[in-house]
Amino acid sequence: MAAPSPSPKPPRKPRTPDTAYGNTDEGRALLQSRVVRYAKIISWVSVVFYPLGMVSRYLVGSAGAAGWAGVFSLASLLQAIGCVMFLALYWWAKHGEHSERALRCADVLVTLGGAGTWELMGIGAPSWTRPDMFTVFVVSQLLALRATLIPCTVNGSLWISLMTVSPIPVLTYFFFSAHPLAQGPTPFGLTFNSVLSCTLVVVIAMAVSRTVYGLRERVREAMKLGQYTLDEKIGEGGMGVVYRASHALLRRPTAIKLLPPERAGEHNLVRFEREVQLTSMLTHPNTVSIYDFGRTPEGTFYYAMEYLEGLDLQTLVDSDGPQPAGRVAHILAQVCGALAEAHGVGLIHRDVKPANVILCERGGTPDVVKVLDFGLVKQLGPTERVDVTTSGADRIIGTPLYISPEAIIDPNSVDGRSDLYALGAVGYMLLTGAPPFTGASVVEVCGHHLHTKPTPPSERMRAPLPADFEQLILKCLAKSPGDRPADAAMLRRELLAGSAASSYTPEHAAQWWQTRGRQLIAAGTRPAPSTQGASPSVILTRAAVGHAAE
């Protein structure tokens, strides 16, 4: 009978990273910032106490009498070495980007080395002192500070603390064997007392690490949405907050927008969820891709979308001023492509504005447009109306600087041509640096949309524009939907066939990204997706709309 084969060993559990956010760039950056702070505090304390220590050694000397013998002793040299080690760690960690492994190794080596030099200072101490008490005090402060600042597991803190304090009992025994106390405990008794003190130091360091690391882990768990972990807040608007996030398995960068019930309202969250389901089916290359959506146990609705390194159009104009007509034509044509697909499946954007259009590089191609937030800000129609007896009933939602006249007067009548009006206003802003209408109040701006004829962009700019392109922008801004282009696809064809489009080539776009675009992104002017920035979406009551229509 054959012997039974041994059961296979269970797979080894992967090591949990010591960083508070796991094995991510954010975790590495957090660790580096904490190592810098840790080394900075110890360096400043060391630098301040070094001359004080020299004064103390001058006063007591190496043999209990005042003199220079104590100043230039072995203890002074060892203290200086410890100071230099922590200063070197501070300078190294502060400059450049270092890997997690390098940061961990540097932290451990300098902690052990710096603490070791201070422990060895007891060798040169006068025979009538108690260097064991001084050493335990200094090392305990060092380990407590490290446990507070450096993200570390309890096991990691245990081993580092043990290695740091282990020389203290040995040095205590040899010191008091060479310099026994005239009265008091024996060297063995003092060593045993040193072991107890070091054990207490290790326990305290572990307790601090467990508390701090545990708090970080709880924060990390609280910031998880399914397989996504929220890393950094990159924007906030009237409806929600946008975070950069990382997926547990995939490495693609992700942006997650949270819509809490207290901000959006439970009624709107149900509608948002339905519209995200439809939006996720859009596949146009100029539409932001939605990866996932859902609700947290607390009722917060979220959706995950592709993270874009680029500039929204508002930031573009704020940073670089009005844009050339050719570039504006190409930007608007790409937006039209995204709108045409959405309109074809019955989705109307209803919040086309500069902050919802991102300009970026994708796959080596410059000036790629991405349109955000399809249908996520929508007017309330008759089938979605709340109780008329409640305050705020019968409201419309929109962005005043870019809202169409029909969206103000009759939200139920809007169609794709309402988006084309908003797109014309965006193009006007790109050309002139300002929206077509401004005012001291929302009502005044809405009144201009309803009654005021826009000033031609060339007059506002005091510079010539291709006549056909200017007429196309003004056609989009027509008060009556019937006077605008019939649909987004037709507008796109007219934009690309016009004289303006031919004046801006891919070479122009590539040159701008090489000389300016990447510089702006590196300087931190990246967009915050859907943050409702310079032109926020607001809620208008029917009374305000009626006043604007007068």
pLDDT tens-place string over residues 179-223: 787 677 788 888 888 899 889 989 988 888 888 776 666 555 556
Domain-terminating residue out of 215, 242, 277:
215
Number of domains in the chain: 3
The confidence score (pLDDT) of residue 221 equals 54
In angstroms, the CA 467 to CA 500 distance is 9
The confidence score (pLDDT) of residue 395 equals 47
CATH number, residue 322: 1.10.510.10
What one-letter code names the amino acid at 240? G
Confidence check: pLDDT of 384 > 50? no
In angstroms, the CA 182 to CA 160 distance is 35
Helix, strand, or coil here: 77? Answer: helix
Considering the domain boundaries, does residue 14 fall inside one?
Answer: no
The most confident of the ranges 123-137, 282-296, 304-318, 475-489 is: 475-489
The confidence score (pLDDT) of residue 494 equals 95
Domain-terminating residue out of 305, 330, 353:
305
Confidence check: pLDDT of 298 > 90? no
Confidence check: pLDDT of 530 > 90? no
Confidence check: pLDDT of 250 > 50? yes
The confidence score (pLDDT) of residue 16 equals 41
Location of structure tokens 């939907």: 481
Same domain, 386 and 478: yes
Confidence check: pLDDT of 339 > 90? yes
Question: Is 348 in contact with 419 (CB distance < 8 Å)?
Answer: yes
The confidence score (pLDDT) of residue 124 equals 58
Q: Could you tell me which residue, 314 or 46, shows the higher pLDDT? A: 314
Q: Could you tell me which residue, 6 or 401, shows the higher pLDDT? A: 401
Considering the domain boundaries, does residue 323 fall inside one?
Answer: yes
Lowest mean pLDDT among 49-53, 107-111, 192-196, 382-386: 382-386
Same domain, 200 and 240: no
CATH number, residue 242: 3.30.200.20
The confidence score (pLDDT) of residue 89 equals 92
Same domain, 83 and 205: yes
The confidence score (pLDDT) of residue 291 equals 87
pLDDT tens sequence across 407-461: 988 888 889 999 999 999 999 999 999 999 998 888 899 999 999 999 999 999 9
**113: containing domain:** 25-215
Q: Could you tell me which residue, 525 or 420, shows the higher pLDDT? A: 420
Degrees to nearest 5, angle at CA 355 with 351 and 360:
120
Confidence check: pLDDT of 98 > 80? yes
Same domain, 204 and 250: no
Q: Enter the DSSP assignment of 499.
A: T
Taking residue 26's Cβ as centre, other Cβ atoms within 10 Å add up to 17
Same domain, 386 and 444: yes
Confidence check: pLDDT of 484 > 90? yes
Same domain, 65 and 123: yes
Confidence check: pLDDT of 91 > 80? yes
Sign of CA dihedral 37, 43, 46, 48: negative
Confidence check: pLDDT of 308 > 50? yes
pLDDT tens sequence across 350-383: 889 999 999 999 888 999 999 988 765 443 334 4
Residue percentage of the chain with pLDDT more than 70: 77
Helix, strand, or coil here: 335? Answer: helix
Average pLDDT estimate for 96-121:
88
- Band (499; pLDDT cuts 50, 70, 90): very high
Considering the domain boundaries, does residue 9 fall inside one?
Answer: no
Considering the domain boundaries, does residue 220 fall inside one?
Answer: no
In angstroms, the CA 530 to CA 539 distance is 17
Same domain, 300 and 313: no
Lowest mean pLDDT among 8-12, 330-334, 468-472, 529-533: 529-533
Distance of CA 390 to CAs 21, 92, 238, 267, 385, Å? 45, 62, 21, 14, 11
- Band (292; pLDDT cuts 50, 70, 90): confident
Domain-terminating residue out of 184, 215, 246:
215
Considering the domain boundaries, does residue 238 fall inside one?
Answer: yes
Same domain, 154 and 283: no
The confidence score (pLDDT) of residue 467 equals 94
Same domain, 280 and 407: no
Average pLDDT estimate for 145-169:
88
Same domain, 325 and 278: no
Q: Where are the alpha helices (DSSP H) in 280-324?
A: 313-320
- Band (18; pLDDT cuts 50, 70, 90): very low
Location of structure tokens 């209803």: 350
The confidence score (pLDDT) of residue 130 equals 73
Considering the domain boundaries, does residue 13 fall inside one?
Answer: no
In angstroms, the CA 334 to CA 370 distance is 8
Same domain, 239 and 358: no
For the chain, give the mean pLDDT: 79
Residue of 465, 433, 449 whose CA lies nearest to 401: 449
In angstroms, the CA 537 to CA 403 distance is 10
Residues carrying an active site annotation: 351
The confidence score (pLDDT) of residue 238 equals 63
Considering the domain boundaries, does residue 108 fall inside one?
Answer: yes
pTM over 0.75: no
Same domain, 414 and 376: yes
The confidence score (pLDDT) of residue 501 equals 92
Q: Could you tell me which residue, 281 or 333, shows the higher pLDDT? A: 333
Considering the domain boundaries, does residue 15 fall inside one?
Answer: no
Confidence check: pLDDT of 283 > 60? yes
In angstroms, the CA 317 to CA 461 distance is 14
In angstroms, the CA 48 to CA 291 distance is 54
